[in-house]
Structure 1
């Protein structure tokens, strides 16, 4: 099981059912029964998916009488997006340097002649 928050986020997002649950929760909070009605899997299976999402910090769960409400949490998504953007900037920088190198007059030909 992943130990850091970013790994837990990506591991939770790796499953299409969990992504569908998150999409549903982006529309508003829901109970386990409300979520389960949208999927062709058992109630215990939905509960297991919710536990993974909760462990990753992607949802929060609260009790309201006998119902347990589930709601989406944005912070882990923000952290994942920030990490992906940092990787994008790093790769873009590398590609810009490669482009500049390839555009230098004569160097590409000299390198190719060797």
Structure 2
């Protein structure tokens, strides 16, 4: 079944889920199988057993599309070419210094 956690008490480790039809079902932390800790407003998928919600998971959500990457203006880009040029020059100097010794 699909539902939403309407309350969860951390001290008692128990909460209530409201299903799609408006019915309310108790659950406890032992039956929680989701990511993180349960909390109010969280959409969940669960099974009913003896009137209690068990096997409570976070509801599956549709995969989201990646956002479009906005290119940075040239003045905001890091000066990586200058760094590579300087590193290359340092390597050449070290190699030439090694040949003279």
Structure number with greater CO (CA < 8 Å, separation at least 6) is 1
Name whichever structure is richer in helix by fraction: 1
Q: As a proportion of its length, which structure holds more strand?
A: 2
Q: So what's the TM-score if we normalise by structure 1? A: 0.26
Normalised by the length of structure 2, the TM-score is 0.29
Q: Which has the larger radius of gyration?
A: 2
